[in-house]
Amino acid sequence: MAFFLTVISVLLLCQFLFTIWNMKQFPVLKPASFSPDERISLSILIPARNEEKRIEACLQSIVDQRLYPKEVVVLDDHSTDQTRAIVERFSQTYPWIRVQSGRVLKQGWLGKSYACSQLAEATASDWLLFLDADVRLKRGAIEAVHEQLCTQKTGMLSGFPEQKTGTFFEHLVVPMMMFTIGCHLPVKWVRKSKNPAFAAAHGGFIAIEKNCYHDIGGHEAIKDSLVDDMALAKRVKEQSFPFTLASIHPFVYMRMYESGQEVWE
């Protein structure tokens, strides 16, 4: 019995040490170190359905940036609340923000993938940055992203924002995302290996270069995937495009849920 407990303890210690080491392998999105002489066009694309509680803060965090994207397109996916009206109010002050009406869901598609596909059709920018409505950008975020994308040239960038929590169930569940990644997915292999098994992404923040996006088939290629962010990341790696999974918490934060009920659902 003592031998068995010793083995278990050693294994747990190894797992603990691996997790600490593994978490330190995440590349961290850093402040821009240069004035962006090399310019890439960047479109921020936000699918939104009944997001009146979240969309205003999301858009405000974008217009508070020092460097603006080429455009912000919000897809109003048949909202029944004030989502559209809030976006239109922003567009009166910032003409590069616009709202687009979502089409009726096609058979065989899941909702978010279809919304993102429509957003991608609506822009011709060099890079597409898909954000969820509950994502907030801190000061300097677009400059930092811009520098990373200029360096990377093509492929995909995704990352884990700082997670804000309030209720007991949020404290219990939300940290499990990073815990799962840290314990089981070798972060170095995500960057270096072409094997799609070593892929992870956060659907709230995905930047993808337009040629890469079209070459992998866009969201149409993953239209029925329940975990669309992971499916997109795997296709990027399968086609040997550069893929970066980063810690973006210095510049991006979000609160995924605002009650125990939302966590449960």
The contacts of residue 97 (CB under 8 Å, 6+ apart) are 59, 62, 63, 71, 72, 74, 87, 90, 91
Whether residue 115 has pLDDT greater than 80: yes
Instruction: Kindly report, residue by residue over 58-106, the tens digit of the pLDDT.
Output: 999 999 998 999 999 999 999 999 999 999 999 999 999 999 999 999 9
35 pLDDT band (50/70/90 cuts)?
low
Q: What is the largest CA-CA distance in the chain?
A: 72
The contacts of residue 108 (CB under 8 Å, 6+ apart) are 223, 224
- What pLDDT score does 86 carry? 97
Tell me which of 87 and 189 has the higher pLDDT: 87
Tell me which of 91 and 1 has the higher pLDDT: 91
Domain-by-domain residue ranges, the chain?
22-264
Q: What is the DSSP letter of 218?
A: G
Tell me which of 6 and 72 has the higher pLDDT: 72
Instruction: Kindly report, residue by residue over 123-159, the tens digit of the pLDDT.
Output: 989 999 999 999 999 999 999 999 999 989 999 999 8
Report the CATH fold assignment for 22-264.
Spore Coat Polysaccharide Biosynthesis Protein SpsA; Chain A (3.90.550)
Report the range of poorest mean pLDDT among 202-206, 229-233, 253-257. Answer: 253-257
Q: Determine the average pLDDT of the residues in 12-26.
A: 77
CA angle 166, 170, 173 (to 5 degrees): 160
Look up the pTM and report it: 0.89
At residue 1, the 3 state secondary structure works out as: coil
- What pLDDT score does 94 carry? 96
Q: In this structure, what are the phi and psi dihedrals at residue 199, rounded to the nearest 5 degrees?
A: -140, 140
